[in-house]
Structure 1
Amino acid sequence: MINDKGIYIKNIYYMLSYAFQVLKQTNYESVAAEEFNKIEDLFAAILAKGIAKQLKQGLYREYVVNHDTLSVMKGKVDLQETIRLQIKRKQMISCEYDELSENNLFNQILKTTMHYLIMSKGVDQEHKIALTKLFLFFDGVDLLSPSSILWNRLHYHKNSKNYEMLLNICYLVMDGMLQTTEAGEYKMSSFSDEHMAKLFEKFILEYYRCERKDLSDARAAKIKWNLDSDSSKSMISFLPEMQSDIFLRKDEKVLIIDAKYYGKTMQYRNDKKTLHSSNLYQIFTYVKNQDKENTGNVSGMLVYAKTQENYIPTEGYQVKIGGNQIGAITLDLNKDFEDIKKQLDDIAIHFLG
């Protein structure tokens, strides 16, 4: 099925599988074989499989601070509160102690996401039943208000690494789809362009990392400004960072890719259709600053996700500017995924060999 942005939902799954390699494991094979009518149904299916696997391994636990009134001392004594209890002739001790608990941010986000997916009209009944069964195992875990989730507080280490993909899916649901209604309630909406753009960018990078083992370098690299030796140090500090989306290197050749996901690929000025000027200026700046010796071995490519526009560079445009190749092309995410892979392979072959 196709979502409201003209993209095969199955292709979104394939993109996720490159962005998060764990989805290529055997327990997700049944998800890859399914057909989905709504993207939230896809996310529900992935979470149902992933959370079921996590429950078998055990939910992540971390130390949380508890405050309690006990008959025997545990942890540290809250002296002020204990004295207050004694004045009231209560023979109890107010204590503060650490305890391993499943009621932590990681599991709270999982439970909250399941809650909203279960209520969503876009989730198939089969996946709602699967999530409802898993929901029972989170009885001691609190639900969160979606707007209160501090995503930047999520840091993964050895014991919580398994949660990274699951919580990224939760983020796509909770931050990318869940919208507040006028009545202050929540409902599922379209998958946001902002989150789709991040997924599109990460997919392309991870595709080249996975499929092109001949590349000596594949990363999101910072490009250094090609500054003259007499440049003012005070001015240098004000220069913006040049952060590329995808930086590929093979031998002496470099290809810098900027991945773009817009509602409209082309801009219109005086009835003329052109590429977004800011995109072209940006990729050209990256290329010329990377190619300090003017070798011509550095190329730049703008890769757009195909939109509903009729006129777009599907075959690819390429020009040589100042000795460097600069190109633009669109990936049609509404095609068979093998066609998308071939197009990405052709880009790398053309510029890097």
Structure 2
Amino acid sequence: MQQIPIQNIYYLLCYAWDKLDESDIVDVKAIGTTELIDLFAKILINCTSRLLKRGLDRDYIENEYIINGVKGKLDLSASVKKNTFPSNKTICQYDEFDYDILHNQILKMTISKLLRAKNLDKELKDELHRLFIKMPPISEIQIRNSHFKQVRLHRNNYNYEFVLKVCQIINENLFIDESSGKYKFKDFLQEEKAMARLFESFVRNFYKIEQSEFLVKKENIKWKLVSEKETDLLMLPIMPTDISLISSSRKIIIDTKYYKEAFKARYSQSQDKINSNHLYQLFSYLMNQESNIETTKNCEGILLYPAVGGDFRFSYTYENHRIRVLSINLDQDWFNIKRDLLEIISGE
């Protein structure tokens, strides 16, 4: 798949992360680069600058010190073991209000890694370095994916949520180049599983934000299979939709697909065909969701693919169900992407 413009990638992320209200962090129209690493560095710079102006988050951290007298909690066994009493000292544990907490450690370490990345724009690297030296003493850690789940966000530090998502995507895509010892940023757009999740979240949140006719949700559809044994029914797999749009008069099931090739070639012929597995899956959703509710009997199904450049639109009917196979061209002005996505569900 060809490259999606940098500006559109930024909007994809803002919608997917449900952070459209923070999209003004970066003026994407002013971005001249086509390098993903530069985009994420710019986001990180702007987010970190905001945090430093507001003041980095702090919390109480329990530390252990050898001190004169007693402060906080006396660690008697450690004091005896290290024989501190003859010198009138003790080992005590007490809390200090400090910046050295997990989300600041992730932020500072991510900046440190970017400073060692190849092909990062020099001006951006200089900006990152200036921010890095402004940050207070914070421990270096080896960032793992589990760290992002451990951060506890609340109303006093919610402004870290967006920058932590940026830090996570940076860390997931930076790797050491053994020949130079520097970090390289891989093209995460080629990671089909990650981009499939991103594209699905983008489309779902886009419809949650940009229209008011439909309730937007993921839906677990039950199989219309019967069995005398309850244990047999428990063996049936879950059938969750990517996106279900439900109103009083219409229902639409959208199944999003992110593949480098939207069509799977049949090499024995000169033409390509719609991926049969994708069509079977959508068809199964439509058949099994039917109930005595009228909107389920007329439920529409859409297979939606991202595309760069060429568009395609195919339309079919099965009984009362309208089935469409569509692409959304991500290589166009964002206004047109928004227009096309809303047109898909307009009912015209």
Over aligned residues, Cα RMSD in angstroms?
A: 2.7
- How far is the alpha carbon of 1:11 from its aligned partner? 0.9
Letter aligned with residue 251 of structure 2: V
Distance 1:78 1:130, change over 3 A: same
Secondary structure of 2:345 counterpart: helix
Matched, 1:104 2:117: no
Distance 1:224 1:241, change over 3 A: same
1:343 to 329, 340, 343: 340
1:178 to 149, 174, 184: 174
Secondary structure of 2:301 counterpart: strand
- 8 Å contact kept, 1:246–1:257: yes
- 8 Å contact kept, 2:221–2:289: yes
CA distance in 1, matches of 2:245, 2:230: 30
2:115 to 109, 115, 118: 118
Secondary structure of 1:214 counterpart: coil
- What percentage of residue pairs aligned between the two structures are identical? 30
Matching residue of 2:203: 204
CA distance in 1, matches of 2:110, 2:267: 47
- How far is the alpha carbon of 1:97 from its aligned partner? 2.8
Corresponding pairs, count: 341
- How far is the alpha carbon of 1:38 from its aligned partner? 0.6
- 8 Å contact kept, 2:308–2:331: no
CA distance in 1, matches of 2:28, 2:331: 19
- 8 Å contact kept, 1:226–1:292: no
Matching residue of 1:34: 31
Letter aligned with residue 218 of structure 1: V
2:162 to 160, 165, 189: 165
CA distance in 2, matches of 1:243, 1:104: 38
Secondary structure of 2:237 counterpart: coil
- 8 Å contact kept, 2:73–2:93: yes
TM-score (norm 1): 0.85
Matching residue of 1:281: 280
Matching residue of 2:231: 234
Matched, 1:93 2:90: yes
Secondary structure of 2:327 counterpart: strand
Matched, 1:14 2:15: no
Distance 1:29 1:41, change over 3 A: closer
- How far is the alpha carbon of 1:22 from its aligned partner? 4.4
Matching residue of 1:315: 312
Matching residue of 2:306: 305
Letter aligned with residue 159 of structure 2: N
Task: Note the alpha carbon deviations across 1:119-177, whole angstroms, 9 max, x for none.
Answer: 334433332222222212334112332457533323422223211111111111111x2
Distance 1:88 1:98, change over 3 A: closer
Secondary structure of 1:99 counterpart: strand
Greater Cα shift, 51-60 or 90-99: 90-99
Matching residue of 1:133: 130
- 8 Å contact kept, 1:222–1:241: no
CA distance in 2, matches of 1:244, 1:330: 18
Unaligned ranges ≥5, structure 2: none
- 8 Å contact kept, 1:179–1:188: yes
CA distance in 2, matches of 1:26, 1:323: 41
Matching residue of 2:69: 72
CA distance in 2, matches of 1:136, 1:276: 52
1:258 to 245, 255, 260: 255
Secondary structure of 1:63 counterpart: strand
CA distance in 2, matches of 1:322, 1:64: 64
- 8 Å contact kept, 2:79–2:90: yes
